[in-house]
Structure 1
Amino acid sequence: MSIVYKCRHCGQAIATLDQQVIDTTMLGLDQLSIKEKEEMIQYKDNGDVDVQTICEDCQEALGYHPHYHELDFFIQ
């Protein structure tokens, strides 16, 4: 089983954790609200988990262009 962190804006893979057993509290996923979990976490048929986050490049772009926060996707 793997947990794959991907940027929700550009789709870039940020990190992958390959573990047989993963404690979600150690990853901080238990701190998310139910809505945040629904939006950010996707469970795959093979047991992998995709977590939508933001990469450094997209975070920097949002910092320079705050109005991008209004958009669902700012990278076309």
Structure 2
Amino acid sequence: MSIVYKCRHCGHEIGKLEQQVIDTSMLGFDQLTMREKEEMINYKDNGDVHIHAICENCEETLGHHPHYHELDFFIQ
């Protein structure tokens, strides 16, 4: 089982954890609301978990262009 962190905007793989057993509370999943979990976490058929986060480059771009927060995707 892998936990794969990908940027929700550009699709860049931010990181990957290869573990057989993972305590999701150690990853902070228990701090998310149900809506945030639905938006951010995708469970794959092979047991992998994909997390939609924001990479440093996209975070910096959002900092320089705050109006981009209104858009679902700002990278075409």
Normalised by the shorter chain, which TM-score bucket?
Answer: over 0.9
In structure 1, the residue matched to 2:64 is 64
Partner of 2:21: 21
CA RMSD of aligned residues (A): 0.3
Q: Secondary structure at the match of 2:46?
A: coil
TM-score between the two structures when normalised by the length of structure 2: 0.99
- Displacement of 1:43 in angstroms is 0.2
2:75 is paired with a residue of what secondary structure? coil
- Please say if 1:39 is aligned against 2:39: yes
Which residue number corresponds to residue 30 of structure 1? Answer: 30
How far 1:74 moved relative to its partner? 0.1
Name the % identity.
Answer: 75
Q: Which has the higher helix share?
A: 1
Which residue identity lines up with residue 65 of structure 1 in the other structure?
A: H
Deviation string, structure 1 residues 22-43 (Cα, Å, up to 9, x no partner): 0000000110000000000000
Amino acid at match of 2:30: D
Say which SS state the counterpart of residue 24 (structure 1) adopts.
Answer: coil
Residue 10 of structure 1, CA deviation: 0.2
Paired residue total = 76
- Work out the CA distance in 2 between the residues paired with 1:18 and 1:27: 13
Report runs of 4+ in structure 1 exceeding 6 Å deviation: none
